[in-house]
Structure 1
Amino acid sequence: MFDVLIRGATVMTPAGEAQLDVALTKDKIVALLAPHSEAQAAEIIDAGGQHLLPGAIDIHFHVRAPAYPERGTWESETRAAAAGGVTTVFEMPISKPCCATPEIFVSRREQGRREAVVNFALYGAPGLLDAELVHGMAREGAIAYKIFTTEAVPGREDEFEGLCVPGEAEQLRVLELVRQTGLVTVVHAESQPLMDHFTAQVKATGRNDALTHGESRPPVVEALAIAKIATLNDLVGTKLHIAHLTSAHALRTLQRWQGSQDITGETCPQYLSFTEDALSRFGSYAKINPPLRKEADIEALWDGLRNGSILSVTTDHSPFTVAEKERARNNIWAAPPGAPGVEFLVPMLLDAAAQGKLSLGQAVDLMSSNGARRFGLANRKGVIQVGADADLILVDLKAMTVVDRQTERSQARDTDYFLDGQRFQGKVERTIVNGKTVYAAGQITGQAGDGQFVRP
């Protein structure tokens, strides 16, 4: 007698697709059974015609709680995750104050435990360069560490204290400290000196239109920062991961070090779908860092996904309010960078598989399995096998997902100009977190506190 039995689905196992019944007890997968088995359960889910996949893991996610509840909360943004088939989010350390000490880490962790609808992990910020602080966050369960190679955003210094590390000597020390923990260093890679150079050139023209954003941060800014941090890592040998790759130049730079050190990278749906022309159409709503690029960059990133040089597709979900975006509509320099997107990571990748850009197995790896392996969750998350966590999604590959920002679950739904009106082939029908259905038939059934804290 099991707690839950999922019958009739095509199951994506590590060996490929198979017709199986999947049994859950408490928060674990406890049996993979022949189809139409005689097994019994307290809850039987008829999944005929659907695919059962590991729940998606969004390894780059921002809610910023407890800061700025007007933008989004643990509950609101993880409800959006649940609706999108994301069963675990990795929350970045930007908050107020920045998550750079064990005390702040514990406070954020306990709030997440009270409020999150899906599972969550927390990054720490190691840039205070204090070994006890870095090791303390590891002891409390940090999934990894994050740094920016840029300076803090003016006026938001407390949100980035310990996170922004523009100096090369300080970057080297971060790599040394994180290596001692055995965890991964994730890097927002843009060269501050080069960005200052291009920004000064553009501002000297007096322009403040949306396209100046990309001109002030061209691909070489990203590529140079990757080259510098990877060169420093030649001395240290820590695990390195480059956040949100946007360009062919950045990807080529990453590839030069792959094979000689432990370095991986990710990209995001917006960089796979939109060019810099979106800035002309949507203005401040399309401002993200690093910026959108050109069609050739999009094609290069898809090639990187197919050949395995890009590890993961993640959202960089980053909610702001309409008022914040509108205040900067006519001055792109003042606009806050970021956009929501956690609800549509899975449909976007299912659509890519339907269009033949990826195989379904590659899509699952990119949104789930690869991230789990990279960040110390192998055999627990991102996989359907006996003993793994019961974080699962049922999807209909023939159904359509039609994006309407008025019905999105994110509190920042009204700023979603990127995806509004988009159509994706593939639809999330049910999301199961820790053995419990938290989303089904278009309704959120999960509650605050259903999510568990995840540590490597």
Structure 2
Amino acid sequence: MSALDTLIMGGEVLLPDGLARVDLGLKDGKVAGVYAPGSAPEAEATIDAKGKTVLPGIVDIHFHVRAPAYPERGTVLSETRAAAAGGVTTLFEMPISKPCCSTPEELARRRDHFAENAVIDFALYAAPGDLTEASRDKMMAIGCIAWKIFTTPSPAGRADEFEGLAFPDEADQLRALTLLADTGLPIVVHAESAQLLAHFEEAAKALDPSDAATHNKSRPAICESVAVAKLLTMNMTAQAKLHIAHVTNAQTVAVLRAFKGTSDFTAETCPQYLFTTEDDVAKAGIYAKVNPPIRFQSDQDALWEAIADGTINYVTTDHAPFAKAEKQAAEGNFPAAPPGVPGIEFIVPAMLDAVAQGKLTLQHAHDLMCANGAKRYGLYPSKGALLPGSAADVTIADLAGETTFSPETLHTHAREVAHLFYGRRLRGRVTQTILAGNTVFQDGTVTGSQRAGAYVTPQRAR
């Protein structure tokens, strides 16, 4: 019997202290060793990675598929296949579903549904529901990876999807932070001021609904920055492990800097905010509507500055597929359009393209979209690193290759509504994705099987 199952040879491997010309040995779903070229023991199979870069498999900490609800938008199978094609080996699913994942019963149901269908590893967020210790403790026992709340009210007609997740009242927000602080798990917040949203949405009723600018005017940056400032003030008392989702603008960046050191908080942004502006939304129309909105070039510049100085340490997809019919039904009407874009196949090529442009180093790019998240959520170094004993989750990339986006090249079920990314040509291409030592994507083809993904909890990773 060979000492190794697989040996990845000839590539540059991203280790915690940087790139190294080494070979990587995999055995029984784990990294067995890191070897100088030519010194590894015998392997049953080899992968020639010459000219390629070998990365720890990407961990996306902000993902939506909403399953088992709304299969017309995408399923666990379709969207984890897309994740594998994008180089992602672990995803953290948000609790919006029908009904909301805000009870122990629903958390267990979603866990079982994902386990039956996932091609890659998955973790599940929980919403704090009734804000009782009993419910909180049961969901922790089931293994939720973290918590999620919104500071906005439930969207009209979707109360059951946001029951126990949406807390527009500030007293309830403080109750949630205080209740969840003792768990030690991150609390992710979609932060926009409910009162300011109501004010600006009312004013926007007089504007042209087909204009992309109307969406920004109905949810301006101040809605986000005020909510973030209030949360960070609350957290000076609650002292929770707070994480601000999808930061979009310069004003919020200034707030984050102003509160530095006041509590344990972190912040993320997403590729749609780093690589596109309202001008791109105007071209793509309602297919590019997201909440909070995609902003302006000055905001994009501020986000890159925040990444450079460490104010923002996470880049996540906020992948949110919708059915073509749903988007089409709101054609020319931004207020009525469902918010979300399917970005799981965009994040790695986009960040590799940023590396090629000199915006950041490969190490920093990987930290932003993988290692930092694995550390924050207690999974490192099992996830997010290639060290002996780490999970054999690997993303192999051709940094000189090219990725183009069209309905024909995408794997997500929502490929026909990814207008924001159509026609983009990015330098950097995922060539192979390996989960627990098994190839789940290679050269354009998803090879991973249903049920291959494992349930990841704060106590257990592969």
TM-score (norm 2): 0.97
Contact map agreement 2:63 2:318 (CA 8 A) in 1:
yes
**1:278 pairs with one of 253, 272, 280:** 280
**1:52 pairs with one of 43, 51, 54:** 54
Residues 170-196 of structure 1 deviation map (CA, whole Å, 9 limit, x = unaligned): 111101111121101100000010111
1:163-312 to 2 correspondences below 5 Å = 163-205=165-207, 207=209, 209-312=211-314
Give the letter for the 2:401 counterpart. Answer: A
Partner SS state of residue 198, structure 1: helix
Contact map agreement 1:127 1:164 (CA 8 A) in 2:
no
Pairwise CA distance, 1:26: 1.4
Contact map agreement 2:25 2:40 (CA 8 A) in 1:
no
Contact map agreement 2:208 2:214 (CA 8 A) in 1:
no
Q: Which residue of 1 aligns with 2:439?
A: 437
**1:349 pairs with one of 348, 351, 365:** 351
Aligned residues: 456
1:29-44 to 2 correspondences below 5 Å = 29-44=31-46
Q: Which runs of 5 or more structure 1 residues have no equivalent in the other structure? A: none
1:140 aligns with 2:146: no
Q: Which residue of 2 aligns with 1:329?
A: 331
Check 1:381–1:227 CA distance in 2 against 1; reply closer, same or farther (3 A cut): same
**2:399 pairs with one of 383, 397, 400:** 397
Q: Distance in 2 between matches of 1:393 and 1:453?
A: 20
Q: Distance in 1 between matches of 2:22 and 2:401?
A: 22
Q: Which residue of 2 aligns with 1:110?
A: 112
Contact map agreement 1:354 1:425 (CA 8 A) in 2:
yes
Check 1:21–1:206 CA distance in 2 against 1; reply closer, same or farther (3 A cut): closer
Q: Distance in 2 between matches of 1:114 and 1:73?
A: 11
Give the letter for the 1:72 counterpart. Answer: G
Q: Which residue of 2 aligns with 1:98?
A: 100
Pairwise CA distance, 1:406: 2.4
Contact map agreement 1:247 1:293 (CA 8 A) in 2:
yes
Residues 386-414 of structure 1 deviation map (CA, whole Å, 9 limit, x = unaligned): 11111111111111111122231100000
Partner SS state of residue 405, structure 1: coil
Check 1:399–1:168 CA distance in 2 against 1; reply closer, same or farther (3 A cut): same
Q: CA RMSD in A?
A: 1.1
Residues 42-99 of structure 1 deviation map (CA, whole Å, 9 limit, x = unaligned): 2111111111101111111000000000100001001000001011111000000000
Pairwise CA distance, 1:252: 1.1
Pairwise CA distance, 1:305: 1.2
Q: Distance in 2 between matches of 1:258 and 1:357?
A: 24
Partner SS state of residue 346, structure 2: helix
Q: Which runs of 5 or more structure 2 residues have no equivalent in the other structure? A: none
Contact map agreement 1:144 1:184 (CA 8 A) in 2:
yes
Q: Distance in 1 between matches of 2:211 and 2:383?
A: 44
Q: Which residue of 2 aligns with 1:448?
A: 450
Q: Distance in 1 between matches of 2:325 and 2:230?
A: 37
Greater Cα offset, 300-309 or 32-41: 32-41
Greater Cα offset, 304-313 or 316-325: 304-313
**1:379 pairs with one of 378, 381, 384:** 381
Pairwise CA distance, 1:127: 3.8
Contact map agreement 2:209 2:334 (CA 8 A) in 1:
no
Q: Distance in 1 between matches of 2:211 and 2:285?
A: 8
Give the letter for the 1:245 counterpart. Answer: V
Give the letter for the 1:213 counterpart. Answer: H
Partner SS state of residue 338, structure 2: coil
Q: Which residue of 2 aligns with 1:67?
A: 69
**2:13 pairs with one of 8, 11, 14:** 11
Pairwise CA distance, 1:24: 0.9
Contact map agreement 1:127 1:174 (CA 8 A) in 2:
no
Check 1:16–1:326 CA distance in 2 against 1; reply closer, same or farther (3 A cut): same
Partner SS state of residue 305, structure 1: helix
Greater Cα offset, 361-370 or 128-137: 128-137
Check 1:238–1:44 CA distance in 2 against 1; reply closer, same or farther (3 A cut): same
Residues 348-394 of structure 1 deviation map (CA, whole Å, 9 limit, x = unaligned): 11110010001111011011100000111121111111111111111
Contact map agreement 1:84 1:428 (CA 8 A) in 2:
yes
Give the letter for the 2:421 counterpart. Answer: L
Partner SS state of residue 112, structure 1: helix
